[in-house]
Structure 1
Amino acid sequence: MRSSDDLPGNPWPHDMQVSVEECWPPLIYLLFVRSAWRLDIDAVPRLDSEPDPGSSHRPENLDVDAARGRWLSEWKRAWTHFDPPILRVSTPDEMTQHLLDTLTDDELWKATSTWPSDFWGSGIDPDACERWRSSMAAPLGDLPENRVIPALAEAWRAGLSTVIQLPYLGSFALRINREHLVVSPTTRNDPDLYGRALES
C-alpha cells in the first residue's frame, strides 16, 4: 500500500509503503492441511473457522505422529520467508556447500524452498484450498489500514514493512521481527486492537 496523492491534509505519508499479506499461500496451505487431515497441533493457534476440505482426506496408513512432526518442520521453514535479509556476503557453511556441490537445481530448490513439500499433495483438494484462500482477501477500498493510519505510520517509521494476516481465532498479534507483524482478522478489523498491535 502506498499513497498516490501528495495532498495537504492527507494522513498517509507519501513515501510510506507497507505490504499486507492476507493469505500467503505456503502458510495457508499448511493450515488447510492441518484442518483437512485433522492433525492436532496445539503449537499453532486454532482457526477462526475450519475450511471446507472438499475431497481432501487423510491418507490411509498415515503415521500421524510423523506427519505432525513434518508439518511443524515445514511450518517453521515457511516462516523463514519473512526472516530479515542478510546484508553481507559470506562463504557458504559446510552443509550449504555440500548441497550446492551434490544437488541438481531442482533438488536444491526443493531442499531450500519455503513452500510445502509434495508429501501433502496426495490427500489435499487444491481447489478447496484455493477457494478458502481466496475468501480471505479484504474488499478493495475497504482496507482496515485506512482506519489506523497514525499507528501504522509510526510502526512504519519504526521499521514495519509487512502485516501478515492469518485466519487465527479471536484476537491475535505478534511482532515476529522488526519488519513483520502477524495479526488475526479479528485484530486487523478492530481499529483499537489493530492500533495496539501496531504500537507493540
Structure 2
Amino acid sequence: MNSEELPQSPWPQDMQINVEECWSPLTFLLFVRSAWHLDIDSVPRLDSEPDPGTSRRPADLDVDAAVQRWLAEWRRAWTHFDAADPAIHLPDEETRHLLDTLTDEQLWAATSTSTWPSDFWNSGIDDEAYGMWRTTMPAPLGALPENRVIPALVTAWQGGLTTIIQLPYLGFFAQRINREHLVVSRTTRNDPEMLAQALTLEA
C-alpha cells in the first residue's frame, strides 16, 4: 500500500506501509491452538473461534509437550519481524552445548531460523478449514481501514513504522514490537479511533 494507490491523497509521495492481514506462520498456529484446544493463555484469545472442520489432535498427543513446542514455534515465527542484526557473534555457552550433544536433526529443530510452523502440526489439521478461516481476515478491496486515519498513519510512518500486522485477537489490542512493526487486533484496525490510538504507540 503506497501513496500512488491513493490519487489526490494527502500521503507523502514516498510513503509506503505494508499490512500483513493474515500472515500464515502466526494464523496457522492460532488455528492449531483453537482446533486442538491447547491451553495457552499467554497469547491473546481470538475474536471468534474458527470452524475446525475435520481437525482433531492426534490421540497419542503429549499435550504438555505440544504446548511447549507451540510456544517455541510461536516465538520463532515472530523473529521474521526482528530488525536485522549485522553483527557476527561467536557461539555462546548454550549453543556450544547444543553443537556438542545433539544430532543434526535435533540441532536443526532447536536452532532453525525458519519462521514457518514445522510438519509436526500437519497431522490432525484440516487445511481447507484453515484456508476458509484465512479468507475472512483481509479487509474488502477499496475499504482499507488505514484510509480513515491518514494523519495518524503519516505521523507513525515518519516515526519509523513500516508494517502493520493484523491478528484476529479479541477486542482492543495494540503493541509496537519494534520501531518498524505495529501489531493490532482486527477489532482495533477496523475502528478508526482505536487504530489512531494504536498508531501513537512507540516501541
With normalisation by structure 1, the TM-score equals 0.89
SS of 1:138's equivalent in the other structure is coil
Aligned counterpart, 2:2? 2
The number of equivalent residue pairs is: 194
Residue 93 of structure 1: how far off its partner (Å)? 2.7
Q: Could you say if the C-alpha distance between residues 130 and 5 of structure 1 is closer, same or farther in structure 2, counting changes exceeding 3 Å?
A: closer
Q: Deviations over 1:82-126 (max 9, x none)?
A: 00112x242553649x59xx859xx58x82211111111111111
Find the aligned partners of 1:6 and 1:45 in 2 and give their Cα distance. Answer: 34
Residue 131 of structure 1: how far off its partner (Å)? 1.1
SS of 1:181's equivalent in the other structure is strand
SS of 2:179's equivalent in the other structure is coil
Write out the 4+ residue segments of structure 1 that deviate beyond 6 Å after TM superposition: none
5 Å matches for 1:1-200? 1-4=1-4, 10-86=9-85, 88-91=86-89, 93=91, 95=95, 111-200=112-201
Find the aligned partners of 1:44 and 1:36 in 2 and give their Cα distance. Answer: 15
Residue 53 of structure 1: how far off its partner (Å)? 0.5
Overall identity of the aligned pairs, in %: 64
Q: Is the 8 A contact 1:5 1:14 kept in 2?
A: no
Question: Alignment RMSD, CA only?
Answer: 2.4
SS of 1:10's equivalent in the other structure is coil
Partner AA of 2:88 in structure 1 = S
SS of 2:4's equivalent in the other structure is coil
Question: Is there any run of 5+ residues in structure 1 with no aligned partner, and where?
Answer: none
Q: Could you say if the C-alpha distance between residues 91 and 76 of structure 1 is closer, same or farther in structure 2, counting changes exceeding 3 Å?
A: closer
Residue 146 of structure 1: how far off its partner (Å)? 0.2
Q: Deviations over 1:13-59 (max 9, x none)?
A: 11111100000000000000000000111000110111111110010
Find the aligned partners of 2:171 and 2:138 in 1 and give their Cα distance. Answer: 18
Residue 3 of structure 1: how far off its partner (Å)? 1.2
Q: Could you say if the C-alpha distance between residues 124 and 180 of structure 1 is closer, same or farther in structure 2, counting changes exceeding 3 Å?
A: same
Q: Is the 8 A contact 1:36 1:56 kept in 2?
A: yes
With normalisation by structure 2, the TM-score equals 0.88
Residue 10 of structure 1: how far off its partner (Å)? 2.7
Partner AA of 2:180 in structure 1 = E
Residue 12 of structure 1: how far off its partner (Å)? 1.1
